[in-house]
Chain A
Amino acid sequence: MENEIRPPRRYKRSKLPKLVRWIFGLIVLSSFFWRLYTVIIVQNEYTPDIWVRLLISGLVIGGVYSLIAIGYTLVYGILRMINFAHGEVMMIGTFAGYFVFEATNAIRFTSSTGEITSLSNAQPFLSILLAFIVGMTVAATSGFLLEKIAYRPLRKAPRLIPLISAIGASIFLQNLAQLLFSPLVRDYKNPDLIARGQGWAITVAGARLTIPYTGVLTFSLSIILMFALYTMVRKSKLGKSMRAVAADKSTAALMGIDVNGVISQTFIISGMLAGAAGVMWGLHNGLVYYYVGFLPGIKAFTSAVLGGIGNIPGAMLGGMLLGMIESIGPTALGISYQLKDVLAFVILIIILIFRPSGILGEVLSEEKV
């Protein structure tokens, strides 16, 4: 009986799966480059101004993804869990900003020149600042409550359970928003100063191009916030505590670090960033509705993984990269704009198959391996 079961003696670890993977990858990669070549060089129907326009919008959206991605990466680095409801935190930020602008728009008074105008237009900078502050605060609070209610009780549970709780929280928040505010898709009332679509006019290769005000605002604010966060994590006491908790929770606790507090603060910070991203999304894209957080959430997670989960510069890089790919990709590959989400998902799958640790490498806690 033993003899029938023993496999042939010189049975090596089969190299086949790895080979299949590499062949598959090679096919995908070469067809990808072939397609790029065909569309860009051969067909050449796109003038430079189109590329510049796409580049700009890619940078803008990349900034938004980066901010949300940092939130994912912070939480994954510390708790080793995907905060599935993070997209909804962004959505909450978007809604908060929307209400602020509705309010500032509704407050009307007579200005010094005698015309009737809204607070929004009389004091645009104040309104914008207010929108961001309120958006970030409300989102941060949501992140804090989310952790406290749905994740903290499950700190010690096997990995699947908090993930399902996160999914539940995501569904819950989406539908709460839908029930509260109806499925109606609403518009952001930007102050006239930064109305959507308005911007600086430039000429590129003979064609007129607009650099949108909202885009510049979004991009610069993203960079500022990313820089602030990175400095905070590297230099401040909180940042050190966060890294310590991420590396080894129990030892950090033994060293006197308030682990629960640090985790809460992590969620607060990632919530703040997501809230800012949400307001930016509203200003630039104009749309706010209960489902607005879902796709950006997934794409931001893809960005975080792309750059290396747990790795903050990685999240920033990944966000920017994904924004560019999403913006320039469909045109460069000659496929419909509808399929840009498919592109993002395909990239996610490819990264997770071939380089799950991301471009800049993972930074994860030792435990739970």
Chain B
Amino acid sequence: MNKKLVSPSLKRGLTFGIVMIIFVLIDLDVMVATMLSKLFGANVIRGSIPDVGFMVLFLILFGMFVGWSTSSDDAKPTTKLFQALVAGLTLGVVLGLFDLILNQLIVTGTDVRKYLAALAPESIRLFLFDQGAISPLLHLGLFTVASLLGSLMKILLKSESASRFFKGVKSGYQGLQAKAQANTPNWVKKYGKFLLFLLIGLLAFFPPRIWGSYNNYVVGLVGLYVILGIGLNIIVGLSGQLMLGFAAFFAMGAYSVALLNAPLPHGIMLGFWPSLLIGILMAVVAAVLLGLPVMGMRGDYLAIVTLGFGEIIRILLKSDLLTSFTGGPRGIQDIRGPTLFGQSFSSDIDYTYIILVVMVLSIFIYKRLERSRTGRAWLAVKEDTKVAQATGVNIMTNKLLALCLGAAFAGLAGGIFAARNQFTGPNDHQLMVSMNILSILIVGGVNSIPGIILGAFTLKGLPEILREIENYRLLVFGGLLVVMMISRPEGLWPATRPNIEKDEGNKLKENGAPGEGGLND
């Protein structure tokens, strides 16, 4: 029994030890400690070091996590504790050795920041709890105990009484839900949706006037990414064409508005709305130009080609060759904003309104498309292209349509983006932007509107709000993509297919008579 238990726990301790070492090397430990201190109300000045207590807290939580995950779900309590013990000890030993090295650095006063940029002496000291030579032992003890604690928590929470408790809570909640549904008066059911929208509309109107331009900026950013996410979803999620160069369409919209609305390089002042339309048109044209040649390509090749396409656009925008046309690497400044009924409509509040309205419109269009013959055709193409074609779906037309519509959304978002920032340049349209949008889709959940909103908020809104994370944002992105593909590929808020049969049944019940119409009139 021993060998089989010891080995995986040992490995786990080792792995997590290395993970923690990497955390220290990228200063993530200090970041988390800072965030924890913020959580507990401490007023943190930028760049300062948090209290030691929070570092201790972080390490304890980490240790508990290790203990929790090492304890197998179906093992006896004593076994669980044993596993956690081994893992915790290993973790402690690994980090203890690491501490010895760190201590040496402090003692000799070596500054390694030439190579390991994040390893400032203060950070090292904080990690060592400022206890110098005895910190290895402290860490060893801390991690072992924390690991055992984690295991203990698992024992408690997975025990019989605990699961009974949770089940009780869940059924109680479900009961309440059912009761509420049964008791809602009819008028709420009929007009509820309408009232909800009215409420949301009102809620959306006032806050932008109150909460300051920074929040408007963040909300606007999230909104734009929702629109982008919807566009990409039509291409990737509905019609199944993996597109890695989506930023190219975004660039089409942005640059159209920019080039037609700024003093340099052309001095045309066409006005926001017409140039926005032109931007959408340009994006669609680009989609057709990309789509026609690549019609028959298989998935992974298509991904690379679209990536290449996006990069080509970016390099061309940046090149000296086309500077006289595109403004070159410096981009385009002083882009004029929209006007409404003659008045300038380009304050941050106004932009927030525009973005919110466009976002709602986009969601509306998406939902209509999804639940239509076209939407189903796309999904069929995604599921099984050959069979879809044999069932009567024209592959080429539908794929191209998806590309064009998705590109249109991107162009729209791009135009608004450029005007809002009053500036755009080649750096706004690099590969990372495409990857961001794809990540939003994947992490939030493909084909799911709540998922896209959640994804946009998590990947774009949250880092703006929690500034500390900003440096680590992409690291977490990348890691999240990998983790989600392995554990939850359907996303944080998975999509569900509509319940057509049930809805028909309900409709019949409500109307009391079979509806008219049918294919054979």
User: A residues engaging B (CB < 8 A)?
Assistant: 1, 17, 20-21, 24, 81-82, 99, 102, 149-150, 153-154, 157, 159-165, 167-176, 179-182, 184, 298, 301, 305, 335-336, 338-339, 341-342, 345-346, 348-349, 352-353, 356
Contacts and interface: CB of A to CB of B under 8 A. Distances in A.
9 contacts: A20-B292, A159-B300, A167-B481, A180-B26, A301-B304, A305-B301, A339-B321, A345-B311, A352-B305
B475 interface: yes
A17 B320 CA distance: 35
Contacts of B320: 336, 338
B115 A99 contact: yes
Given A82-B300, A180-B25, A181-B117, A175 B308 contact: no
A176 B471 CA distance: 11
Given A159-B299, A171-B435, A349 B293 contact: yes
B311 A341 contact: yes
Contacts of B300: 81-82, 159, 163
B319 A169 contact: no
A341 B316 CA distance: 10
A160 B242 contact: yes
Contacts, number: 152
A352 B301 contact: yes
B474 A164 contact: no
Contact of A171 (B26, B318, B471, B477): B477
A179 B304 contact: no
A352 B25 CA distance: 42
B263 interface: no
B251 to A, nearest CB: 15
B246 to A, nearest CB: 13
A341 B321 contact: no
B328 to A, nearest CB: 11
A349 B115 contact: no
Contact of B478 (A82, A160, A170, A305): A170
Given A167-B244, A342-B316, 20 more contacts: A17-B292, A157-B489, A164-B442, A168-B485, A169-B478, A170-B478, A171-B475, A171-B477, A172-B478, A175-B475, A179-B472, A180-B25, A298-B308, A305-B304, A338-B321, A341-B315, A345-B312, A349-B308, A353-B294, A356-B297
B438 interface: yes
Nearest to A179: B26
A82 B485 CA distance: 16
Contacts of A81: 300
A194 B472 CA distance: 38
Contacts of B482: 149-150, 165, 168-169, 172
Given A176-B475, A342-B316, A356-B301, A162 B485 contact: yes
Contact of A346 (B28, B299, B312, B489): B312
Contact of B118 (A180, A298, A338): A180
Contacts of B242: 160, 163
B477 A168 contact: yes
Nearest to A153: B486
A213 B42 CA distance: 59
Q: Please list the 4 inter-chain residue pairs (A to B) with the smallest Cβ-Cβ separation, ordered nearest first.
A: A168-B481, A172-B478, A171-B478, A182-B117
A12 to B, nearest CB: 16
Given A164-B481, A172-B479, A353 B319 contact: no
A322 to B, nearest CB: 13
B480 interface: yes
Contacts of A353: 293-294, 297
Nearest to A99: B115
B321 A154 contact: no
A336 B316 CA distance: 11
B474 A175 contact: yes
B118 A339 contact: no
A169 B477 CA distance: 9
B303 interface: yes
A348 B304 contact: yes
Contacts of A172: 475, 477-479, 481-482
B357 interface: no
B116 interface: yes
A79 B434 CA distance: 26
A157 B299 CA distance: 14
